[in-house]
Structure 1
Amino acid sequence: MSVKYKEFEHIISSQYRAEQEFLAEYQKGGYSFQKPYVKLNPYLIAPLTALILFETEQPTTVSITVKGKEEAGNIRFDFPEAKEHILPVYGLYGNYENEIELALANGEKNTLEIKTDELPDKVKQPTLFSTTPEYFQDNMMFVSPTSPAMTAAYDYRGEVRWYSPINFAFDLKRVKNGRLLIGTDRLMLPPYHTTGLYELGIIGKIYKEYRLPGGYHHDQFEMEDGNLLILTQDPPRGTVEDMCVLVDRKTGQILKKWDYQQILPQYPVGGSGSQDQHDWFHNNAVWYDKKTNSLTLSGRHQDAVININYETGKLNWIIGDPEGWPQDMVDKYFFKPVGDGDFDWQYEQHACVVLPDGDIMCFDNGHWRAKIKENYVPAKDNFSRGVRYRIDTEKMEIRQVWQYGKERGAEFFSTYICNVEYYGEGHYLVHSGGIGKYKGETCDTPPSRYVGDDLHYTEFNSITVELKDDVVMYEMQLPANYYRAEKLKLYCAEDILTFGQGEILGTLGVTEKFLTLPPTEEGGMVPEGYGVKVGLEEDRIIFKARFEKGQMVLLQLEGEEAYSYFIPTTKRPFLAMCVGTFLESDDRAVEFPVSREGLAGEFKVSLIIDEKKYDTGLTLHL
């Protein structure tokens, strides 16, 4: 058969099966403190983790020390009193005989060895690293990639102590239950919009997937009650990255929506150098501020950080260069720079943060650093930086009170991605993660867009800096692009491993049907040259193939009722390739998911290609 077909198990199902297997093995019995059960990479996607299980006759605390290559690299954690001991092991080194020391409350000790495999090439090694163990201690710097690399965590020496081969997307945040929220690896809309978010324990277990009809991109925020702000869109209307939703943490249901088309004028108003009609706002960050009950949103393609009322969605203010905006909006919503110090507007910014005193921080990418094409600043002469603005919403005045990065010039310049973090007054992280050169020249466009042969001519770099009172206390450079950097500890008392199957929450919605069918003639079996692949997931059908640009393609599911889906073969020229890890090297490659919601029964799969109808030979039982 010319069509390849495969069924895919959801990672949550795979992990549950793996968990059942290792628990069954453990429950055969005979495991004690001196001879515990040890399982490396128990949840399949975190190779530098392990699990130790044993019982003691009396309740006791247990401390674990994962030995470093030197004493400063030791990672220690104390587990609460119990008889049944479930001990996650974090911070193993790759390709190493790791030594693990266990100690009971009575002083009894046991030392184990765990051998790990070599790190994959996609786990990048630092090209420059500088800090001290006294300063960085047992923290890890997590980075999530946008170029060919893997999500990984680096210790005080720049050694990798955690990574995952899963193609996670966008931001990685620790939430109140100690787990991580990160974008799924399941592509929903090209080039990088995924099905939603995973809630992930450091051990690699996925407890929940939060799915959204419009998919997920860029950022999320945990509210005080645990519900989640998630950035999304409504694809059928033809625009992207211009909506935010509030999602119920327990059910995955959408509780509230904010639609920026109801708040702001669209293309070409306020347009940055990367704006188009399809991606007019490009929302890449969201922050809730309890003091003002407001949302602050970063819109890369309007060079604007905006603030809206949480309840009503009404616009409060805009930080940005007012060039190109209607005068009535400039008068009402924009700030006027004041003060005698240096001041620069931010352009195509990322990662807006509201500080405790109301100041606004963001990463000012500075892409083009102008609103008018004739004034664009080329990358080789440009700069990116972390910046802190002080705003007076009564007088509508703004002053720049701090920045870092301008002094480093093009070396620190990122056209896209990046973040800042606030750890306290004078204590900041500035992550310039999208640095690149193409054929030796500093990139004027995101380097993640380069695939295939172009990769040979592309140099990727990422610079992560932590500053305290304007002194650089930490710097790491990696030869890849990373969306954001987050400093976290591996062990967290709230991140408690619980057994049982994870949950798939929310909905992907019903995939839009194509209603007008062209006249067709029979074409027989679909030609092999199209490279058609069909994958069946628990909640989706995945269609992949190769077509020339502009070919007319419809996927048909024919059962008691027929469903037709339009397959786009003309790719949009995305000017903000924020994550390039889903890109295919073949320009003809097409991937299209169909939600299984609303589909039940037996369906014959056929294709209409340029007015010929082809049989795939496949019948799906849904």
Structure 2
Amino acid sequence: MGLKALSRLAGLLVFVLLLLSSCDSGFNYSIKSTLNPYNISPLTAQLKIETEKPCNVTIKVLGKIPVEQTFNLNATNLEVPVVGLYPNTLNNVIVTLDYDGGLVIDSIKIKTGNTPSHFPRITINKLNRNEMEPGMHACDIHFANNGKFNSGPIIFDDQGQVRWYLDLSFAGKMVSPFQRLKDGTILMVSRHVIYEFDMLGKPLKETNISTNYGMHHDVQELPDGNLLICVGKRNNFIKLENKMVASDSDHIIEFDRKKSKIVREWDLTKHLDVSRNDLNFFRPRDWLHMNGLA
């Protein structure tokens, strides 16, 4: 038997021994799992763990591309997220409890449903990990649905398998763009609402902005946590061919997330040529249609 095979066998034996020892360690604990605890993130679960001694926890979703997270909580009552579950699968999840004096390894099963039938089929044609950031791949998907949008972000792995998504159909309109802020918050906006979630889909904050502004297409987080947002503004006019027409999608606002208010705005009609014809063939007032910030 080769060295690599022996090494794998030794590792397997150690793992089995740890599992066996955890069953008779005399360390009391309980684990309760809740799938999709906030009803909009079907490939996640929440574990409620109670232990007799303070613990740190490591969660590992097994599979061809495993997902592992460690939580240094040092507590006896723990709530930890499980992300990266496979759809339509009885997922095997390894739970490691690390406490002063020992280590307990347990295994739980979490059954998930299938992804929605309208999700796209993802095929990976080429993958060059040397030219990519580590981790999985995130994007927005939107279904127009005759004007009543069904939007939601998805994350898929290197095999094209969806491993996380949010069902935002409750909004009834386009919600975009999906991004994860530096504090871990999942942020998305609809026309007049800023949504903030955690990875389990727990609503952290929902902020309504003035209906005089309509958000669309791009949001950027500033170093201080404020947001730059593309907007259109009501009752904003430009002069074209000696006629005053209402303009659209030509403002930027700075939004203070902590105080939930607009602190600054820029009217790009005051800085750029509104007579440019790049997009005016759509409709005269849509002279810029700013969809991106950099």
- The size of the alignment, in residue pairs, is 243
Residue equivalent to 2:160: 158
Residue equivalent to 2:107: 111
Deviation at 1:127, TM superposition (A): 3.6
Pick one of 185, 195, 198 that aligns with 2:195.
Answer: 198
* Closer, same or farther: CA 78–33 of 1 in aligned 2, 3 Å: farther
Greater relative CO, 1 or 2 (CA 8 Å, sep 6+): 1
Residues 137, 156 of structure 1: 8 Å contact kept: no
Q: Deviations over 1:483-534 (max 9, x none)?
A: xxxxxxxxxxxxxxxxxxxxxxxxxxxxxxxxxxxxxxxxxxxxxxxxxxxx
Counterpart residue identity of residue 119, structure 1: T
Residues 277, 287 of structure 2: 8 Å contact kept: no
Residue equivalent to 1:75: 67
Deviation at 1:271, TM superposition (A): 2.6
1:62 is aligned to 2:68 = no
Residue equivalent to 2:147: none
* Closer, same or farther: CA 133–257 of 1 in aligned 2, 3 Å: closer
Residues 123, 160 of structure 2: 8 Å contact kept: no
1:43 is aligned to 2:38 = yes
Residues 145, 169 of structure 1: 8 Å contact kept: no
**Please, which runs of 5 or more residues in structure 2 have no aligned partner?**
1-26, 145-150, 237-245
Residue equivalent to 1:143: 139
Deviation at 1:146, TM superposition (A): 3.6
CA distance in 2, matches of 1:274, 1:140: 39
CA distance in 1, matches of 2:111, 2:193: 34
- Cα RMSD over matched residues? 2.4
* Closer, same or farther: CA 226–102 of 1 in aligned 2, 3 Å: same
CA distance in 1, matches of 2:32, 2:48: 5
Pick one of 87, 99, 104 that aligns with 1:94.
Answer: 87
CA distance in 1, matches of 2:137, 2:33: 27
Residues 280, 287 of structure 2: 8 Å contact kept: no
1:183 is aligned to 2:189 = yes
Q: Deviations over 1:354-375 (max 9, x none)?
A: xxxxxxxxxxxxxxxxxxxxxx
Counterpart residue identity of residue 75, structure 1: V
1:130 is aligned to 2:132 = no
Q: Deviations over 1:44-89 (max 9, x none)?
A: 1000010001222222211110111x2xx11111101222211100
1:281 is aligned to 2:288 = yes
Q: Deviations over 1:439-490 (max 9, x none)?
A: xxxxxxxxxxxxxxxxxxxxxxxxxxxxxxxxxxxxxxxxxxxxxxxxxxxx
CA distance in 2, matches of 1:222, 1:38: 34
Deviation at 1:139, TM superposition (A): 1.4
Deviation at 1:138, TM superposition (A): 6.6
CA distance in 1, matches of 2:250, 2:28: 54
CA distance in 1, matches of 2:235, 2:123: 44
Deviation at 1:126, TM superposition (A): 1.1
Residues 132, 156 of structure 1: 8 Å contact kept: no
Q: Map 1:470-509 onto structure 2 (within 5 A).
A: none
* Closer, same or farther: CA 262–136 of 1 in aligned 2, 3 Å: closer
CA distance in 2, matches of 1:160, 1:130: 17
* Closer, same or farther: CA 41–197 of 1 in aligned 2, 3 Å: same
* Closer, same or farther: CA 134–242 of 1 in aligned 2, 3 Å: closer
Residue equivalent to 1:605: none
Counterpart residue identity of residue 139, structure 1: G
Q: What TM-score does the superposition give when structure 1 sets the normalisation length?
A: 0.37
Counterpart residue identity of residue 235, structure 2: P
**Please, which runs of 5 or more residues in structure 1 have no aligned partner?**
1-31, 185-193, 288-622
